[in-house]
């Protein structure tokens, strides 16, 4: 096995280590705080002395349980999150002391009302616009409220010094992940998109952040200096956008099995959050509010940051086409896909919108559509 294959193999063998780390932290009395969204600041949870864990659910097995309380015609991500909480089948949720949730899409914010019956939920009111001074003021005041709630949970004050240290660490992670993805800008990248995403997930669920970053930086350097072990240069280069990547594993895999090379993920779970760092030169709470408010999610109206990010990434990663994933009943991404199509096509690139859910039933249909798209590229 060559050094690149060995890195991928190591990540696959240690994929579930995070569960053990969270269990050990819980046993030591360290509070665990669950989140469901890119708008929730990891830095504040870390500065309060708790461990933040992302709870976006990715599988369909908990959906039937969720449908006993929720409508069937609801986004699978919302149903899966709730179903796992209800059944107690998410080990991370099991160890959580508090959920810090947010008012983004209607499905999630109404689901949180029911979730609060299972675990305490602190709901952060996210503005629906990003460009007015009052939006920034609301974000900042909501982040201050999160600080107070976490201080009550952990008994530790959230100081500016602690926040600044957490910001520096998280910015280092953002730089590290971007450096890993940057390898996909090469004509012949060392990893497929699926493999990059496996490493990204591994980092997200490794809770000793400093140790994980040393590993990530070392691995990226090895990948940078090692001759690629496969020739991926002839494959059409695709950027994936749309609903969070956690819900699209079958789509990503099917796309690459259809002959494409996914060189960039604009989705949450991919590059959407790490694209912009927190400005370490500014007042820390203001800088945090400013950074998180600029995340380009379709729940914002208007949503210029997503469009700007897409244009930049299409150019930087030299993509041939864009595939947009729209989960069933996700109205905001579904409606925004019309504007995304127009913009992508105006740049001379091909575009495909794929509607799907978490069930395996449409895999063949997806393969046919994606195969036809990849052939066109």
Report the alpha-carbon distance of residue 1 to residue 7 in Å, rounded. Answer: 10
User: Which range in 61-69, 177-185, 325-333, 367-375 contacts ligand SF4 by CB under 6 A?
Assistant: 325-333
Q: Which is nearer to ligand SF4, 75 or 191 (CB)?
A: 75
Report the alpha-carbon distance of residue 67 to residue 73 in Å, rounded. Answer: 9
User: Given candidates 4, 8, 11, 37, which one binds ligand SF4 under the rule CB under 6 A?
Assistant: 37
Closest listed residue to residue 167, CA positions, set 275, 291, 266: 291
Q: Which is nearer to ligand SF4, 299 or 310 (CB)?
A: 299
Q: Which two tokens stand for residue 224?
A: 């940078």
User: Which range in 197-205, 233-241, 292-300, 364-372 contacts ligand SF4 by CB under 6 A?
Assistant: 292-300
Here's the x/- map for ligand SF4, 294-323, by CB under 6 A: it reads as -x-x-x------------------------
User: Given candidates 66, 268, 289, 319, which one binds ligand SF4 under the rule CB under 6 A?
Assistant: 268
What totals of helices (H) and strands (E) does the chain contain, helices first?
Answer: 16, 8
CB of 172 to ligand SF4, least distance (A): 22
Report the alpha-carbon distance of residue 255 to residue 342 in Å, rounded. Answer: 22
**In 105-188, beta strands by DSSP E:** 121-124
Report the alpha-carbon distance of residue 184 to residue 193 in Å, rounded. Answer: 8
Q: Which is nearer to ligand SF4, 32 or 268 (CB)?
A: 268
79 near ligand SF4 (CB under 6 A): no
User: Given candidates 18, 34, 39, 275, which one binds ligand SF4 under the rule CB under 6 A?
Assistant: 39
38 near ligand SF4 (CB under 6 A): yes
Burial class (CB in 10 A: 0-12, 13-18, 19+), 249: middle
Strand partners, 124: 102
Q: Which is nearer to ligand SF4, 154 or 271 (CB)?
A: 271
355 near ligand SF4 (CB under 6 A): no
Q: Which is nearer to ligand SF4, 149 or 272 (CB)?
A: 272
Residues 140-179 that bind ligand SF4 (CB under 6 A): none
108 near ligand SF4 (CB under 6 A): yes
Residues 225-264 that bind ligand SF4 (CB under 6 A): 243-244
Report the alpha-carbon distance of residue 324 to residue 345 in Å, rounded. Answer: 13
Q: Check if the beta carbon of residue 268 is closer than 8 Å to that of residue 244.
A: yes
Report the alpha-carbon distance of residue 367 to residue 252 in Å, rounded. Answer: 11
Which is it for the CA torsion 26, 28, 33, 38, positive or negative?
negative
User: Which range in 2-10, 35-43, 82-90, 369-377 contacts ligand SF4 by CB under 6 A?
Assistant: 35-43
Closest listed residue to residue 297, CA positions, set 334, 344, 331, 333: 333
Q: Which is nearer to ligand SF4, 176 or 246 (CB)?
A: 246
Q: φ, ψ for residue 207 (rounded to 5)?
A: -95, -5
CB of 56 to ligand SF4, least distance (A): 6
The secondary structure of 23-73 as a DSSP string is HHHHHTT--EEEE-STTS-HHHHHHTT-EEEE-----STTHHHHTTTS-SS
Asked if the peptide bond before residue 105 counts as cis, ω within 30 degrees of 0, the response is no
Here's the x/- map for ligand SF4, 48-77, by CB under 6 A: it reads as ---------------------------x-x
User: Given candidates 80, 104, 241, 254, which one binds ligand SF4 under the rule CB under 6 A?
Assistant: 104
Count of residues that bind ligand SF4 according to CB under 6 A:
20
Q: Which is nearer to ligand SF4, 237 or 250 (CB)?
A: 250
Here's the x/- map for ligand SF4, 191-230, by CB under 6 A: it reads as ----------------------------------------
Report the alpha-carbon distance of residue 376 to residue 133 in Å, rounded. Answer: 45
Report the alpha-carbon distance of residue 195 to residue 9 in Å, rounded. Answer: 10
Residues binding ligand SF4 (CB under 6 A): 37-39, 75, 77-78, 104-105, 107-108, 243-244, 268, 295, 297, 299, 327, 330, 332-333
């Amino acid at each position: 096995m060559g050094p690149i294959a060995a890195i991928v193999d190591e990540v696959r063998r240690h994929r579930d280590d995070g569960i053990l780390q969270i269990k050990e932290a819980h046993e030591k009395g360290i509070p665990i705080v669950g989140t469901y969204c890119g708008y929730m600041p990891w830095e504040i949870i870390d500065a309060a002395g708790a461990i933040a864990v992302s709870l976006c659910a990715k599988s369909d097995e908990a959906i039937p349980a969720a449908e006993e309380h929720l409508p069937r015609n609801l986004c699978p991500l919302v149903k899966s999150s709730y179903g796992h909480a209800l059944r107690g089948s998410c080990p991370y949720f099991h160890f959580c002391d508090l959920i810090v949730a947010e008012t983004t899409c209607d499905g999630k914010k109404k689901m949180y009302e029911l979730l609060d019956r299972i675990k305490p939920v602190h709901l952060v009111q996210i503005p629906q616009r990003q460009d007015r001074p009052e939006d920034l003021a609301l974000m900042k005041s909501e982040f201050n409220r999160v600080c107070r709630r976490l201080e009550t949970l952990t008994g530790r004050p959230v100081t500016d010094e602690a926040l600044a240290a957490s910001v520096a660490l998280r910015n280092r992670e953002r730089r590290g992940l971007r450096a890993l993805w940057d390898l996909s800008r090469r004509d012949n990248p060392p990893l497929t998109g699926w493999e990059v995403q496996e490493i990204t997930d591994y980092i997200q669920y490794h809770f000793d952040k400093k140790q994980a970053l040393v590993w990530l930086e070392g691995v990226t350097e090895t990948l940078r200096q090692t001759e690629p072990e496969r020739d991926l240069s002839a494959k059409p280069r695709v950027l994936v956008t749309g609903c969070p990547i956690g819900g699209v594993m079958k789509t990503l895999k099917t796309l690459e099995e259809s002959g494409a090379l996914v060189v960039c993920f604009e989705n949450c779970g991919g590059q959407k959050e790490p694209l912009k760092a927190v400005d370490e030169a500014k007042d820390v709470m203001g800088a945090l509010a400013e950074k998180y408010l600029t995340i380009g999610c379709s729940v914002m109206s208007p949503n210029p940051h997503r469009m700007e990010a897409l244009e930049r990434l299409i150019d930087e990663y030299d993509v041939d086409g864009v595939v947009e994933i729209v989960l069933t009943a996700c109205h905001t991404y579904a409606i925004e896909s019309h504007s995304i199509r127009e913009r992508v096509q105006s740049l001379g690139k091909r575009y495909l919108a794929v509607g799907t859910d978490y069930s395996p039933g449409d895999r063949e249909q997806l393969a046919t559509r994606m195969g036809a798209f990849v052939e066109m590229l």
